[in-house]
């Protein structure tokens, strides 16, 4: 049986996570939230006191071993996924700005990206997978049947992020969030390893002026077209 892979890449706050989850339900495919893997690794290395000295050769070696063997579980529960790191429920914690910064640091290190490569590939199981990230189409699943690149202006992404964090009960300032998003975009697009960019054959959607339903319609239209090809 063929395993169909749909990739959704793009910057933070473009709505990727929500849309990827919706597509996975719609097509009854598995879901990979690759950003969560980087967040989990960042959190684990921070908790072990390794992230601060990650440039050190021995620390990096130790961190690669940790990345390869990272003890994580994605437990589906009704509409949500509980994320467990080394026995602790970190579903909420990994979504904080602080852990986002740890993830971004981890994501810039080629050896750590390589250590997560096979773990991501292992998510590809029949009947299909929706993979959400930055380099899903360019690096991890170049064979994907439908490659989508979802973007939005930094301002509209910051607005959405503020609402999301406020809904989680966190007290946040728009200017801080916008600053974080711009800094992260710059790091993610300018890094030499797996920089954030659309695959040459990606379908690009700008969601700045679109709601979730409108983006979903564009995506399913595109995916259905790709799936119907002989």
Contact 138, 194 (CB under 8 A): yes
Q: CA–CA separation, 123 vs 31, rounded Å?
A: 8
Is residue 15 at the binding interface for ligand DC, with CB under 6 A as the rule? no
Of 20-28, 46-54, 80-88, 131-139, which segment contacts ligand DC by CB under 6 A?
131-139
Q: CA–CA separation, 152 vs 207, rounded Å?
A: 5
Of 31-39, 50-58, 69-77, 173-181, which segment contacts ligand DC by CB under 6 A?
31-39
Q: Shortest distance, CB of residue 36 to ligand DC, whole angstroms?
A: 6
Q: Residue from 40, 123, 130, 133 that binds ligand DC (CB under 6 A)?
A: 133
Nearer to ligand DC, 4 or 161 (CB): 161
Q: Which of 120, 14, 27 is nearest to 68 (CA)?
A: 120
Nearer to ligand DC, 100 or 128 (CB): 100
The kind and range of the H/E element at 167 are helix 154-167
Nearer to ligand DC, 168 or 224 (CB): 168
For ligand DC, what does the binding mask look like between residues 180 and 219, x meaning CB under 6 A?
Answer: ----x---x-------------------------------
Q: Residue from 90, 107, 148, 177 that binds ligand DC (CB under 6 A)?
A: 107
Q: CA–CA separation, 53 vs 34, rounded Å?
A: 24
Q: Residue from 15, 54, 100, 130 that binds ligand DC (CB under 6 A)?
A: 100
What are the E-state strand segments in 152-228?
203-206
Contact 138, 41 (CB under 8 A): no
Q: CA–CA separation, 34 vs 206, rounded Å?
A: 21
The kind and range of the H/E element at 164 are helix 154-167
Nearer to ligand DC, 98 or 214 (CB): 98
Q: What are phi and psi of 77, to 5 degrees?
A: -140, 115
Nearer to ligand DC, 116 or 219 (CB): 116
Give residues in contact with ligand DC (CB under 6 A).
12, 34-35, 38-39, 100, 103-104, 107, 133-135, 184, 188
């Amino acid at each position: 049986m063929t395993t169909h892979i749909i990739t959704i890449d793009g910057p933070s706050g473009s709505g990727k996570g929500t849309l990827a989850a919706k597509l996975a339900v719609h097509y009854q495919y598995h879901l990979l939230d690759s950003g969560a893997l980087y967040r989990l690794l960042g959190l684990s290395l921070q908790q072990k006191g390794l992230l601060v000295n990650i440039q050190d050769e021995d620390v990096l070696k130790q961190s690669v071993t940790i990345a390869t063997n990272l003890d994580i579980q994605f437990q589906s529960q009704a509409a949500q996924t509980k994320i467990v790191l080394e026995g602790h429920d970190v579903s909420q914690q990994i979504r904080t700005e602080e852990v986002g910064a740890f993830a971004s640091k981890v994501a810039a290190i080629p050896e750590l990206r390589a250590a997560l490569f096979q773990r991501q590939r292992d998510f590809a199981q029949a009947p299909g997978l929706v993979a959400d990230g930055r380099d899903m189409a360019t690096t991890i699943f170049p064979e994907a049947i439908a490659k989508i690149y979802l973007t939005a202006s930094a301002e509209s992404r910051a607005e959405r992020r503020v609402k999301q964090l406020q809904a989680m009960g966190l007290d946040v300032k728009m200017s801080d969030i916008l600053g974080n998003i711009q800094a992260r975009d710059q790091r993610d697009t300018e890094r030499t390893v797996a920089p954030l960019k659309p695959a040459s054959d990606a379908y690009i959607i700008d969601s700045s002026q679109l709601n979730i339903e409108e983006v979903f319609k564009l995506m399913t239209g595109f995916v259905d077209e790709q799936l119907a090809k002989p």
